[in-house]
A and B are shown apart, each in its own frame.
Chain A
Amino acid sequence: MKYFAAIVVSGLLAIQSSRALADDVPATQPIADVIKPTLVTLDLDKATAAEAFKALQKQSNINPNFAPPDLLDRSDSSISIKVQDRPWLEVLLAICEQAGVAPANYGNNWNITQQGDRRLNARRFVSGPTLIACYNISTDSEIRYGDNAKVNRTITLQGILCAEPTASISGIASVSDIVAIDNLGRRIPSVASGRIMYSSGYDRRDFSISLQPSDDDATSIKSVSGTLLASMLAESDDLKIPDLLRQEGQHFKVRGATFTVNDVRFVGNWYQVEIEVDRGTLPAETVLRLRTNQAPFDPRVEDQQQAGLIRVNQVRTRDDVQTMTLTVRPQNVGNNQPGNDDERPTVNLLWTIPIAYRHVEIPFEFADFPIPR
């Protein structure tokens, strides 16, 4: 069982990437405890990429996926890093940069690839277990045709929210309290802030901040600050099903709820696993929220060789019983895999069952955005 301290923060955090703020903006200090990030201490000198990631995994107990699996073997980079008690995300990004690889995250799954998610290479703000990246700024000059036709100008910042695998964000998060200052020191009215649909299966973690300048003589935005509002996992239980693909008919219990593996079927080059949940004493809300397909509810597959991908595909509810269909796509499984018991790969299921969430507020700040002209 895991308990995360989820505490509302009332001031700016100092935990930020070196690229988050420009040099001329003074760094800020934390004034209160925050949701605790996974802290890492490393002292590596000219290590190989594989050694560096292995050290990071050992410190954090977090296992990102590497694609292709021999990605690190292909790297001849030399990694030198010395950090003490720094957030996992910050260290991950630093190692990736030196190793010439890049991360991409899908909910709680972090993949390390050659290309990664290029949006994460833009302006980054790491705060505790979360990362906010601003990857695009645009200006729109618009004419609305009609009797009152006039030109309106809007500046839009697009960002993306990520979090450590251990710090699950639930459902809809948002940014608010936006304060934007232009290079002439004037405040730019904020007309909207985005709602973030935090979802693991789909790339919908984007948000946008719309600013409506009254003049067009500003050439850049000196700073944009705001607050991330989110609901984060505070308490959970783990469901472990070893060798999932050979467990048809078996029952597993978590907090009085019974998980039964009804059916395992090979379809194309993936497996379809049907699990029936009789929620028992598990809080109804918890089980019902499984259906939302969102990050905290995604189970993780632990393959002894390498992690595969898994997703909740379908949930049906009748009274207290839910039937879920999972798509399990172990790596290195061909299209013609017959799927009989002998040939099924070993896939261990580790499913974090959420029990309780807490509301958190995390301030962020970015500086010096050019206004496209």
Chain B
Amino acid sequence: MKRQPAILVLLCATLSASADPPAAVEPSAEKLIRDLTAADWAQRQQAEDALVLIGMPAVSAINAALAGSTDFEQRDRLQSALARIGREQLLTATRVTIKRRFDRPADAFEALAKAVGVAVEFDGPAAEARAREQADIDLDLNDRPWLESLTETIARSNVNARLDDGRILLLSAPPQAIRRPTHIAGAVSVSADNARRRLATDLATGNTTASLLVRLAAMCEPKVKFKHTSARLVVHKMLDQDGGSILGDAQRAVQLQRESAGRYLCTLSFNAAHNPPSAISLIEGEIVGEVVTRITEARIDDLAALPQTLETPAGPVEVVSLTRSGRSWSLVIQFNRDTNLQQTLSNDLSADSRDGLRILDQNGQAMQAHLSGQNMNQASIDATLTITTSRAESQPASLVWGLASQTRDVRIPFALRDLPLPR
């Protein structure tokens, strides 16, 4: 199978600019800010683009100008430049340089985690034992995107890992398929997981249908969190081995499902009854969604003393009662119908992330919870959450509701090439 080199399409200019000392940039930024009021439209537009290219070092000058500017268009362009810089900064790959030999896999992953400021944890004692075994791991990463570096570290250490709620979780099972066809687009990578050819016979009618299903995965650096259910994968072009289009009746926009925090999956399906292709030579598309840039947390740290009121940015939530039955608990909460809490409650519970509703035990460990019932009253909604645990000593102690209070729209283009298909 051929592998296509990853193509970084985003924001190289920002990266190179970010290496410049701010003092050298500041006069230039101020000149460009003045140019935003130039008589010539093209000059104003070029000034805005140039500010975006400068990136983060220009932000303080822009903010200062915004505070004093009364020119409508200048203010508009300053705000636009700020938004564009933020978006690009958010989606720029964190680059890693590690040239070292490590004695244990855990040490190599810890060095990598340090580059993005996340923790390394072990998925149980077996995973820890495997990661702490003596080994000779030679990492030679020179200014490589962080996600690519993670894949490389997994390959070189033969220890599997995944991103999980803002941490690197080391697993006990060895890695199975490391080098998938992948496109690293800044802080997000898109890879092909698997492809299936499915023949199904309806035993009631005897009809057989054929379909092809291609599963794609998106992995994000911890700084990129999509707001629940907002992320979609949009396909613009899909070509077979001869360069012919095979989009046909295939879905062109598929919602990305969160598998774990930082990893999203989607499946493209299309009819393969006639002349099924033997390979996909190109899938071109983009990931579209809202990335959370600010999370506001509300919490109750003593669930033993109920009722209590949880003040969230979306409105107050009455935490009414907590009752136990064996190893499960029922937590009843109540909130006004005119908040948007009801729309997000199910997603928040399944989020497994900081921007969601979490029930923590007395050791701060997240407990499994799901929405088991809702009662719509005229003005309020009663919701019952069922909380379960496999640990006998574990019991609900805290409730933390993180709500995305600021988001940014993003579009991340990708291209995957040369995927063989099963016959």
Task: Check if B38 is an interface residue, CB within 8 A of chain A.
Answer: no
Let me know if A317 and B203 touch, CB within 8 A: no
Let me know if A325 and B375 touch, CB within 8 A: yes
Q: Which residues of A contact B204 (CB under 8 A)?
A: 118-119, 121-122, 135
Let me know if B194 and A145 touch, CB within 8 A: yes
Which single member of A136, A148, A288, A316 contacts B203 (CB below 8 Å)? A136
Q: Which residues of B contact A313 (CB under 8 A)?
A: 373-375
In chain B, residues 143-195, which have Cβ atoms closer than 8 Å to a Cβ of chain A? Answer: 176-181, 191-195
Let me know if B199 and A316 touch, CB within 8 A: no
Let me know if A136 and B375 touch, CB within 8 A: no
CB distance from B152 to the nearest CB of A (A): 13
Let me know if A145 and B192 touch, CB within 8 A: yes
Q: Which residues of A contact B193 (CB under 8 A)?
A: 144-145
Q: Which residues of A contact B208 (CB under 8 A)?
A: 372
* Segment from B58-66, B91-99, B119-127, B414-422 that makes contact with A: B414-422
Task: Check if B372 is an interface residue, CB within 8 A of chain A.
Answer: yes
Let me know if A141 and B196 touch, CB within 8 A: yes
Q: Which residues of B contact A293 (CB under 8 A)?
A: 373
In chain B, residues 310-360, which have Cβ atoms closer than 8 Å to a Cβ of chain A? Answer: 321, 323, 325, 330, 332
Let me know if A317 and B422 touch, CB within 8 A: no
Task: Check if A139 is an interface residue, CB within 8 A of chain B.
Answer: yes
Q: Which residues of B contact A139 (CB under 8 A)?
A: 198-199
The chain B residue sitting closest to A149, CB to CB, is B1
Task: Check if A134 is an interface residue, CB within 8 A of chain B.
Answer: yes
In chain A, residues 74-124, which have Cβ atoms closer than 8 Å to a Cβ of chain B? Answer: 118-119, 121-123
Q: Which residues of A contact B196 (CB under 8 A)?
A: 140-143
CB distance from A105 to the nearest CB of B (A): 16
Q: Which residues of A contact B181 (CB under 8 A)?
A: 145
Let me know if B194 and A137 touch, CB within 8 A: no
Q: Which residues of A contact B423 (CB under 8 A)?
A: 141, 151
Task: Check if A215 is an interface residue, CB within 8 A of chain B.
Answer: no
Let me know if A143 and B420 touch, CB within 8 A: yes
Let me know if B422 and A142 touch, CB within 8 A: yes
Task: Check if A138 is an interface residue, CB within 8 A of chain B.
Answer: yes
Let me know if B177 and A146 touch, CB within 8 A: yes
Q: Give Cα A151 to B200, complex, Å.
A: 18
CB distance from B283 to the nearest CB of A (A): 12
How many residues of chain B get a CB closer than 8 Å to chain A's CBs? 39
In chain A, residues 122-136, which have Cβ atoms closer than 8 Å to a Cβ of chain B? Answer: 122-123, 134-136
CB distance from B265 to the nearest CB of A (A): 13
Task: Check if B382 is an interface residue, CB within 8 A of chain A.
Answer: yes
The chain B residue sitting closest to A138, CB to CB, is B200
Q: Give Cα A149 to B198, complex, Å.
A: 18
Let me know if B330 and A317 touch, CB within 8 A: yes
Task: Check if A291 is an interface residue, CB within 8 A of chain B.
Answer: yes
Which of A121, A142, A313 has most B Cβ within 10 Å? Answer: A142
Q: Which residues of B contact A317 (CB under 8 A)?
A: 321, 323, 325, 330, 332
The chain B residue sitting closest to A265, CB to CB, is B378
Task: Check if B398 is an interface residue, CB within 8 A of chain A.
Answer: no
CB distance from B338 to the nearest CB of A (A): 18
Let me know if B199 and A146 touch, CB within 8 A: no
Query: Would you give the 0/1 interface string for B355-397, flagging 1 where the beta carbon is closer than 8 Å to chain A?
Result: 0000000000000000011110000001010000000000000
Task: Check if A314 is an interface residue, CB within 8 A of chain B.
Answer: yes
CB distance from B4 to the nearest CB of A (A): 12
The chain B residue sitting closest to A292, CB to CB, is B372
Q: Which residues of A contact B202 (CB under 8 A)?
A: 122, 135-136
CB distance from B100 to the nearest CB of A (A): 24
In chain B, residues 1-21, which have Cβ atoms closer than 8 Å to a Cβ of chain A? Answer: 1
In chain A, residues 321-373, which have Cβ atoms closer than 8 Å to a Cβ of chain B? Answer: 325, 369-370, 372-373
The chain A residue sitting closest to B334, CB to CB, is A316
Task: Check if A70 is an interface residue, CB within 8 A of chain B.
Answer: no
Q: A137-B201, A145-B193, A145-B195 are in contact. Are A315 and B179 (CB under 8 A)?
A: no
The chain B residue sitting closest to A285, CB to CB, is B325
Q: Which residues of A contact B384 (CB under 8 A)?
A: 291, 314-316
Which single member of B198, B374, B421 contacts A140 (CB below 8 Å)? B198
Q: Give Cα A145 to B197, complex, Å.
A: 14
CB distance from A266 to the nearest CB of B (A): 13
Which single member of A138, A146, A319, A325 contacts B180 (CB below 8 Å)? A146
Q: Which residues of B contact A148 (CB under 8 A)?
A: 176-177
Q: A136-B201, A142-B197, A148-B177 are in contact. List 11 more A-B contacts (CB 8 A).
A: A122-B204, A140-B197, A142-B194, A142-B196, A147-B179, A151-B422, A291-B373, A314-B375, A315-B373, A315-B384, A372-B199
Q: Top 6 A-B pairs ranked by shortest CB distance?
A: A146-B177, A372-B199, A314-B375, A138-B200, A141-B422, A122-B203
Q: CB within 8 Å of B: which residues of A? A: 118-119, 121-123, 134-149, 151, 288, 291, 293, 313-319, 325, 369-370, 372-373
Q: CB within 8 Å of A: which residues of B? A: 1, 176-181, 191-205, 208, 321, 323, 325, 330, 332, 372-375, 382, 384, 419-423
